[in-house]
Structure 1
Amino acid sequence: MRDMTDVKRCYERCFAGQAGQAVLEDLEARAFVHGTSFSPDPQRAAFNEGRRSLALHIRRMLDRQTSERLTTHRLTMDREGAEPGAQFPGVARASFGPPEPGETLG
């Protein structure tokens, strides 16, 4: 797994400039970021929430405070000798990918 600071920089490069901002605005509009994702159909509601979750994850990766937390976390991990890619505190593992084999969530 890549270091989260490196992944964050990749997000920033992807969404930099006018084209990146246009794509981000389109994703947010399609993903119910600025509105409700409710549907009376439970399957449609779950699908809509999945869209919304992904758009919010992208937005968090572009957020300046996320950058500061990742930097602080990386410095702490380096100081404590933790393995690169250690889970970022306060962020669910699922937001970065599926659990490792044998790993339990919760």
Structure 2
Amino acid sequence: MIKILEHKSIDENGEDSIVKIPITVSFSAIKNFQNKTGKSIAEFSDDMEDAFALFYYSYVAGCKTLKNQGFKVRYEFDEFDPVFDELAKQFIDVVPDFFPDQKKD
């Protein structure tokens, strides 16, 4: 499953634009999250650093999954702050969709 979030950005001409941010909480995203934080996905918390890392690696995984549709990683880890600032709540809200068996009723 892939979710597409939309990030408001400014293009190279100084014009407002919308950048589509594909995310998938895949095995590679979880593995990279664990390598970065030293935590298992079961230890994921509301900590902003955890959310940032999982969001970033889910974004990278989404871009790789959709590369045949023209998606590419546009932001490096240390450049992802503006995207996170704008879309963190949306990301946190959709994370449970990737774990349907774990959703709380």
TM-score, normalised to structure 2, is 0.29
Structure with the larger helix share? 1
Q: Which has the larger radius of gyration?
A: 1
Larger relative contact order (C-alpha < 8 A, sep ≥ 6)?
A: 1
